[in-house]
Each structure stands twice: as C-alpha cells, then as structure tokens.
Amino acid sequence: MEINFVKPALPGSGTVVLVIFESQGLGELGQTLDRAAGGQLTRAMTAAEFTGKSDDMLMIQAPAWFDRVLLVGFGPLDKAKPTIAEAAGGRIYALLGAVKATSATVVLDMPKDAPAGLNLAADLAVGALLRSYRFDKYRTVQKPGQKPTLVELTIATLHPNAARSSFGRAKAVADAVFFTRDLVSEPANMLYPESFAERVRERLTALGVTVEILGESKLAKLGMGALLGVGQGSERETQLVVMSYNGAPKVKNKRPIAFVGKGVTFDTGGISLKPGAGMEDMKWDMAGAGAVAGLIAALAGRKAKVNAVGVIALVENMPDGKAQRPGDIVKSMSGQTIEVLNTDAEGRLALADALWYTVDRFKPQAMIDLATLTGAVIIALGSEFAGMFANDDVLAEQLLAAGTESGEKLWRLPMADAYDKQIDTDAADMKNISDGRGAGSAIGAVFLKRFVKDTRWAHLDIAGVAWAKKDTATVPKGATAFGVRLLDRFVADVFEH
C-alpha cells in the first residue's frame, strides 16, 4: 500500500474519510463537503448520534461527487496522542477494506483550537500500515473477496512535509515489525534454527549489522550444556545468533544495550510431552527471538544512534531417543548445574546460556530478554499486558513508560527470595521448576536471574501477547511482533536522548 501526504483539500472523486474529534463537529473541509451534499452529512450524523467518540464510525453513500464518505471518530482533542491516532488509522484501513475501496483520501481536518505543533497524520498512517499486514504466502487459491483492495492512501494534513519525514522514520520500524511477524507466522517445517539464522543474516547484513552464527560445535566448546540439552532430541542443529549494531561508535560509553530472545522454533515439550490439542501454536514459541531480530532491524533501519547487541538462542524441542529426560542434570555455560525436572520448561534453559554469554562477552549497560516463557503469565495478565520482572527499579520504570508510549503495555511482577528458594535442589545447583504450580512466571524469572550477574536486567514474559486470536486496531489476527516497537521506543527515549 502506497501512503502519500498532501495539503488539506477534498479529492475530485472516490472515497473520502473525515476524521472528527469528539464534540468538535465537521471541520472546514467537512463543512464544505456537507454544503455541496445539501446537508446530507449533518443529517446522517444527527440521526446516528455521531459525536466523534473514538469508537464512532459512520458510512455515508454517494454524497455530492463522492462514492462514499466515511466519518471516523477520534475522541477528545485534549487526549489526542500517537497511539490513539494509530488506532484510528488501523480502523480506517479495516473499514476501507470492508467496502473494497482501492484508494481513499483521509482528511485530518484539525480544529482551529488544536494545540500548536499537534501533527497526527504520520501516526495515523503508521496505524493503517500496521493493520495492512497479511501472511498469506502459502495460500494458492483466494476468492476475490479475500484479497486486499486498498492500494493507495492519501492523507491530507496542514503539515505534509513534517508528516512525510516522521512517517519515513516510523516506516523503518513498521518494516521491522513485519519482518518479525513473518518469522513468527512461519510453520516449523519452514522456520527451524538453521533457516531462522540464515534469514536473520540475510536481512540484517543488508542493513549493516554484523551477524555471527554459532553452531553446535562452537556452543559445546563454550560449555553451553543447558541450551544444547534442549535440542539434543531434534534433528535440527541448535544455533546461537549474535547481531551487533554500532550506531554510536563515538560515544564515551561504548558498552552496548543488549537484547536476548528465546527462539524455540517448535516446542513439543520434549519427553514431558504437551497435549496434542493446540500444539500447533508452538510454532511461535520463538516470538522472543523474532522480536529481538526485528528490533535490531528497526534500529539499523532508522539509523538509531546507539550501540546494541541482539543474541537469540534457536533450538527445537523434540522427543527422541536422544532427548534429555526428566531428572537429567546439565551444566550451563556459567558452570552452574541444573536438574531438569520438566523438559517442557526448556525456554529458561536456552536463555540461561544465552544470558550468561551476553553478559560475559559484551558486559552490557543493561540487558532485556524476551520470551514466551510461561503459560502462567497468561493466567495472570491475559493478552493485555506482558509480564515484566526486573532487578533495577529505574530500568523497570523506563520500560513501563516505553510500553505506555508504544501501546505495547507491561505490568511489573515480583521476584522475591521466597521464589528463588523454591528452585534449590539437593541433586544440583538448581532445578528448572518448583515443586508446586503457584507463581510459575516468577519461578521462571528467578531462575533466569541466576545467570545475569550484577547486570541491570529485565525479563519480559510475552507468552500472552505474542499471538493475537482476533484483530485489534493495528494488529491483524496472528503474530503481533510484540516487543519491537516497545523496545525501539525504550532505546529512543533512554539511550538516544
């Protein structure tokens, strides 16, 4: 879909969208159109009790010289912000798709009392772009009604040049979101550790990122027994991918900010086999790694002035004669030993070695990991928030703020010594689960904490937000790429300014 920005004007034909702020009524261009249509717009608004609330939508057929006019409520002017504009853009795209429009002009008819400098056009465009995502590469037959029709969206705004510039930067991030959504959507027979690693190498090398791929022989030399143990039942070779982006080579503190992702490309549970129903969803147990790869692509794509490193542990968890068994003890890269009581608690084993490697090699200023780690976080938070655990209050507040600004929301959960004691065991330094079912997400977090030394660190459990079961304003049903925009905002706010 092509997106353009122009000065405020009504088009000569086709479909027009009027964005209306709550209780503000039609703007100047809307009033011009209403007069040309003999008052048809105001009559329709009165009949439908349309006031411009954020969920108000009204379609008017064939007014004046247009095929249709779509009125979209934006909500109160004094609460206008980027996330609301993005949601409006996503709703507009969905509505235009429903009526099979091929092109449309969106008139962001700002009220006269709008705050100076308020320019929401680029945000609205970003929302429409994010909603336009589709993963249909394996569909060989589609009915005409199933194909998207909208190919051009023009946005009329008082500041088209500023909107164009802002959208250019945001589009690099949106492209990275699409990259992550593609990765997470792929079936496991197409996306496995080696192919995942190669896709990352191809995409990020073209953006100027240095990509290293470590195979099993190298991982064995490094002593990554925890990660290798997860994959020993699979025919696919386990990989560790390191992405280094140096966007601020002249800064005084060159230590990077680090991001680590769990990349279990398919999770059967191993010998602790999952139930068959719903197991197909476990193709997206690599969403944390996908988000890290997308984030590094976003930073490089928009030429962020930051030094960042992404490390993703890619592994397939399969039952096999060579698979690790409940009760096995593995030795991690840190030297700490782990009693594996449940092979379906495998993500923390993969992350243990990836976190230690990252800290040991890069000594980052701060480190954030993303993982579809526990079903327990879904019970706690549903699909509205990702669970966040952190060993540093300032870092936690910075991430919470970035979540609010980006619309990818976090909720901080506790890590207490009482939880940490629950993973002590007589047979090894620790076990990978506790004896009970309670506080499953916190148990996973305190396990990971044992592998970060004194690094400022946060763990994001994204199991409930990595995949959408229904459409939302800017996220079609399917892979969400949660974390890419959140952490891009975090980097921009904390490390670039």
User: What positions carry a catalytic annotation?
Assistant: 274, 348
The single residue listed with the structure tokens 């609010």 is 404
Which residue shows structure tokens 């993303």? 370
CA 333 and chain centroid, separation: 29
Torsion of CA 220, 222, 226, 231, to 10 degrees: -40
CB burial of 43-77 (b: ≥16 within 10 Å; e: otherwise) equals ebbeeeebebbbebbbebeebbebebbbbbbbbeb
The total of other beta-carbon atoms located within 10 Å of residue 137's CB is: 10
Distance CA 356, CA 445 (A): 14
Instruction: Say which residues have a Cβ less than 8 Å from residue 209's Cβ, sequence separation at least 6.
Output: 243, 244, 245, 296, 297, 300
Residue 458, φ and ψ in degrees, nearest 5: -135, 145
Distance, in Å, from the CA atom of 486 to the CA atom of 492, rounded to the nearest integer, reads 10
Q: In this structure, what token pair is assigned to residue 108? A: 């962001």
Contact criterion met (CB below 8 Å) for 127 and 82: no
What backbone torsions phi and psi does residue 464 show, to the nearest 5 degrees?
-85, -10
Chain centroid to Cα 225, Å, comes to: 30
**Radius of gyration, CA atoms only, the chain:** 25
